[in-house]
Amino acid sequence: MSLVRVDCHLHTVASGDAVTTLDQLAERAARESLDVVFITDHNEISAAAAASDLGVRVIVGEEIRTPDGDIIGLFLTERVPYVLPVAEVVARIRSQGGLVYAPHPFDAGRSSLGRVLPGLCAAGAVDIVEVFNAKIETQGPNERAAALATAYALPGGAGSDAHDPAGIGAAYLEMPDFDGPASFLAALADARITGEYRPHAPRYPRRPALPFDPYRPIRLASRSRW
């Protein structure tokens, strides 16, 4: 059986809040021995759709903002607009033959589906629950996601959620190879998760402090009496 390493959730500069270029993605994926990456930029598929000859298989995804939290579509052919009701987003993903993936569902620090996710799972609106997200420092939210996936007999996904090159490879699935959405879902039953917490690199590194000069004048901000 041929196994592949798959990162289900990562971002490029097209996301707006990420810094990874496609060239950097290719270099880092090779270093981390990744075989497949789902590029899931925020509300955008342009980079994923344009990616080619990177040395790693790229599958088009999108992390879509809804009023109830973020949701990811995998295996997309068209961009899904953001801020639509979650039911409409699910319908648009499914109409393309895509899969509905619930990212970081119980991370309170991000736009997450946790409050509405059990109802979506019960309604059959979710295909995969992200049970390991490498940007979650404490494992409580990931463990809650895994418990929910088990309760609804849904497969679990894993993603680095990388917004910078250093984050790529922090989490991935090692699983049988696949050739489309249906075989990906089937192969998830035999997937093994590897992951570690890896925080985002600082976007704006602090400048080094200047050496103290006792003769340098100090400028004081003016203050109003009122």
Reported confidence tier of residue 197, pLDDT bands at 50, 70, 90: very high
Cα gap 210→139, rounded to integer Å: 39
Picking from 53, 50, 11, 7, the residue whose alpha carbon sits closest to that of residue 32 is 7
Mean pLDDT in residue range 93-106: 98
Reported confidence tier of residue 203, pLDDT bands at 50, 70, 90: low
Reported confidence tier of residue 1, pLDDT bands at 50, 70, 90: confident
Query: Which domains are seen in the chain, by residue range?
Result: 6-195 (3.20.20.140)
What is the chain's percent helix, strand, coil content, to nearest 5? 25, 25, 50
- How many other CB atoms are there within 10 angstroms of residue 30's CB atom? 12
Yes or no: say if 177 and 140 are a contact pair by the CB < 8 Å rule.
Answer: no
Residue-wise over 2-12: b if at least 16 C-beta within 10 A, else e? eebbbbbbbbb
Name the pTM for this structure: 0.88
- pLDDT, one tens digit per residue, over 108-142 is 999 999 999 999 999 999 999 999 999 999 999 99
Write the CA distances from 21 to 14, 18, 26, 28, integer angstroms. Answer: 9, 9, 9, 10
pLDDT confidence of residue 208: 52
Residue 28 backbone phi and psi in degrees, to 5: -70, -40
